[in-house]
Structure 1
Amino acid sequence: MAEILLVEDDPRITRFVKRGLEAEGYSVTTADNGADGLELARVNDYAIAILDRMLPELDGVQLCQLIRSERRPCLILMLTAKDSLNDKVEGLRAGADDYLTKPFAFDELLARLEALLRRGSFQAPADPALRVADLVLDPATRKARRGEREITLTVKEYLLLSYLMQNAGKVVSRTRILNHVWGYGFDPGTKVVDVYIRYLRQKIDTEDVAPLIKTARGFGYLIADDR
């Protein structure tokens, strides 16, 4: 299952593309501006980044150039409403692997992604187990273990725990959690993050072990070994 980063500021296109790709078995993370897209590309290994050309904060060409200059391993597909030859050339020279003009049919987008993956440029990154103290999370099997105790996780619990463990020792904001785990580019005004943190604590930080999941009041959450 390839991981895809979609950076698009039109929520209608984001919903359409995300829903369609997830139905095809892809895992899709979204951002609605270039700065957030760059941050996500820096902390995760994506097979493909789909970048809108016209983005707030950093436009698609700038974002593409930065991803390439930092030698991020993902392939890049540029989306644009501009159909001129110069715009296409600019995107390709910035490091894009392919170019798709809006409006587009979903089947064409899917075919472009499949063609990019078939080039053989993408190799799935090594996916070692994540560890914090005696807590182990194996991304290959999506199973968790605390000491000798196996922990059963729902899909969202796994995604949340994985994200916290990838950022072990660092405070992760609710906004970043909502974006990474739920794909929200906005705060829906619910306490869904707090609720799922509570679910994880009930499974991981039981009474007989030292708690690992911490609250940074006013900021977010982190997972860390105090020892």
Structure 2
Amino acid sequence: MIEIIEINGIKIKTHPKVYVPAEDSELLIENLVDVKNKTVLDVGTGSGIQAINAVKQGALKVIGIDINPYAVDCAKINSELNEIDSKKLFFKTGDLFKNIDEKFDVILFNAPYLPTSDEEKLEKYLNYAFDGGKDGREVLDKFLDEVANYLKKDGIIQILQSSLTDGNKTIEKMKKLGFVAKQTGSLKFSFEELQVITGWKK
């Protein structure tokens, strides 16, 4: 069912093949680093909510990228719905950093973090938003291995993940890759804790 929802003052028109923003999206919005006059890349943009929010918070230029073509179309619609300046916000189809050929001040990633068995996989395009592989870290680790190549000097990354995927593992990996990293936001549920992990490139 298609409907229009509102999160933190941002209107989102949903799509059945695109992840619908929820508490995780809200947590990342509420813990966003200062993006004023900065360039931002939103990886796995989905509905476009993080990219839209970055422009609303004063970012100079934002690119949202997603492997799901339905998500890219949905994000473009939501950008227009929120009357975002089209000279500041662009969307591309691509897997992680494919189709990205520049560096950014800030890179955001609401990672597909659920440990997923073959039996638990969803419809192809929607599955991209949830499926983190057997241990939940498959896409996240790939992102971390590549992200430094797309960050400017003193750049920042912010990741939204779950305690099911072990935030300490993410922080340790980021440190090994040359980041100063720590948890900067969280939201607890009975079965998991959503975590915002922020890394500063040394």
Provide TM-score, normalisation by structure 1: 0.30
Q: Compare the two structures and name the one with the higher strand fraction.
A: 2
What TM-score do the two structures reach when normalised by structure 2? 0.32
More helix per residue: 1
Q: Which entry has the higher C-alpha Rg, 1 or 2?
A: 1
